[in-house]
Amino acid sequence: MGLRKFKPTTPGQRNKIIGTFDNITAIVPEKSLVVGKKSTGGRNNQGKMTVGYIGGGHKRRYRFIDFKRTKDGIPAVVKSIEYDPNRSARIALLYYVDGEKSYILAPEGLRVGSTVMSGAQAAPEVGNTLPLSNIPLGTVIHNIELRPGQGAKLVRSAGTFAQLVSREDNYAIIKMPSGEIRKILSTCKATIGSVSNPDHALEKSGKAGRSRWLGRRPHTRGVAKNPVDHPMGGGEGRASGGHPRSPKGLYSKGLKTRSPKKHSSKYIIEKRKKK
């Protein structure tokens, strides 16, 4: 997938860089795998705003993604590569030989007509899902489970990938996209390859209106607010606002929010690299 840059014929076109969508092969999603998606506007079940600057945007329909890949030993053919408004990666529609259909996250390099399969007997090829114990060392992977049968939780964003570094007893040692090196049970599944749409990080909206289409409302700086609304608000003239912090008062630049007693900390061999 490439990127499109535009001639600066308008202010909105001047800095606009978007994807080409040249790998998209179907526009209308599979009806049986789609459901309506309600927009919250950042409100909870009491109607109170709990997340700010959310609202509006284009109506979306949710595509059910198969993150578990439990149909072991049954091959499936890739029918189409599609756009998903709910995630940064592309999705692939699979037709299994037994007649079932499902969506998966499309890995980079997967093409229409390709055959994919899941299970311990599957070959370590792009799009196939295997237990970590059956994947060769050094392989690039994504869509990784944290607990067997739970479904993939890690490495699902566009262009991301992890790497299987080594094995130790019942655990596989994985290098995550953040640089963190951690243990994951070898019975957990992962998909071969990296996630599609790697150019997503290079895109630029070019104008505020594109953010509104995505449901993002204008964000007000804390220093521009009153003291009653934000810890950094108020003051005579243009006050600096003090140390950057959230509306709740938590420091926002470098404060560690991970619990020191978190159960999974013992599985982390090397922490992620600081930016």
- Indicate the pLDDT class of residue 273, thresholds 50, 70 and 90: confident
* pTM beyond 0.75, yes or no: yes
Q: To the nearest whole percent, how much of the chain has pLDDT over 90?
A: 92
Q: Give the residues across from 78 on adjacent strands.
A: 94
DSSP state of 215: T
- Indicate the pLDDT class of residue 259, thresholds 50, 70 and 90: very high
Domains and CATH numbers, the chain: 20-201 (2.40.50.140), 220-275 (4.10.950.10)
For residues 238-248, average pLDDT = 91
Q: What is the distance between the alpha carbons of residues 159 and 194, in angstroms, rounded to a whole number?
A: 6
For tokens 């994951």, name the residue. Answer: 184
Whether residue 275 is predicted with pLDDT greater than 80 in this model: the reply is no
pLDDT number for residue 274 = 74
SS3 of 102, please?
A: strand
Model confidence over 85-109: pLDDT tens digits?
999 999 999 999 999 999 999 999 9
Count of alpha carbons within 13 angstroms of residue 69, beta-carbon side: 29
For residues 24-35, average pLDDT = 95
